[in-house]
Amino acid sequence: MHLPRSMAMGMTAAMLLAGLSGCGTLQEITSSSKPLLGGTTADEPSPSASASPTVKVTASKATRASGPLDTGTATHTVKQGDFTVQLTYWTSDNAKLYTASSVKTINVAAHIEDTDSKHRMYLSTFLVTQDDGTLRAQVVKDSGKFEVTPPYPYNTVVTVPAATDGATALTLTVQLDLLVETAPKSNSYYRSTALDTLTLPLIKDGATG
């Protein structure tokens, strides 16, 4: 049956409206699209930071350094041109227990080596000073004309007084002023000064020997 053109157009429009009402609006259709696979659909908790390990710092106990008189004796040699001065230090103290406040008693023996006995030699001054890093002071001074021509030695005892409180070491400087004959039986002399040091570690703040 042939319908009039106006009636056919009306029926087509009615069918189109019915189809749209069953499927929803265009906005509803486009907004109903599902998200892409693998996308984030909800807020995920961020990983918690791991706690840093606690480092314990243990203070090491102070240890006294070893000293030259720990064994009771020490020998030093000082080269003086054509001859050598040998110095021997010894003590009956326990040097491992020396503190700043303790009094130290040290024996010193000096003799000449590497020379003949034809040239007369004398010791005119024996001087000892102590230095604890804060105070420097004279300990002993012995002046005279002491024969040290080989094989004669020079011997003495040095009493070292207390050092400054808190000192961790005490350095002794030993000075020997020598008169050396220029030629055998010439009775003419030149002066030669020998220097040596002896450093004594001291116990402080719970240090152990």
Residue type at position 56 = K
Segment 159-181, tens digit of pLDDT: 999 999 999 999 999 999 999 99
Segment 43-93, tens digit of pLDDT: 555 555 555 666 565 555 568 889 999 999 999 999 999 999 999 999 999
pLDDT band at 120 (very low <50, low <70, confident <90, very high): very high
Distance CA 193, CA 71 (A): 29
pLDDT band at 136 (very low <50, low <70, confident <90, very high): very high
pLDDT band at 121 (very low <50, low <70, confident <90, very high): very high
Q: How confident is the model at residue 79, as a pLDDT?
A: 97
- Which two three-digit tokens encode residue 109? 């023996």
**156 closest CA partner among 134, 176, 171:** 176
DSSP 3-state of 112: strand
Please report the beta strands in 19-168, taking only residues with DSSP state E, as ranges in sequence order. 73-80, 83-90, 104-113, 121-131, 136-147, 154-160
- Which two three-digit tokens encode residue 108? 């010193």
CA angle, 114 then 80 then 91, to 5°: 80
Distance of CA 120 to the CA centre of its chain: 48
The pTM of the full predicted model, rounded to 2 decimals, is: 0.70
Does 22 have pLDDT greater than 80? no
DSSP 3-state of 88: strand
What integer best gives the mean pLDDT of the chain? 82
- φ/ψ of 66, rounded to 5, equals -70, 150
What 8-state DSSP symbol labels residue 55?
A: P
Domains, the chain: 73-201 (2.60.40.1470)
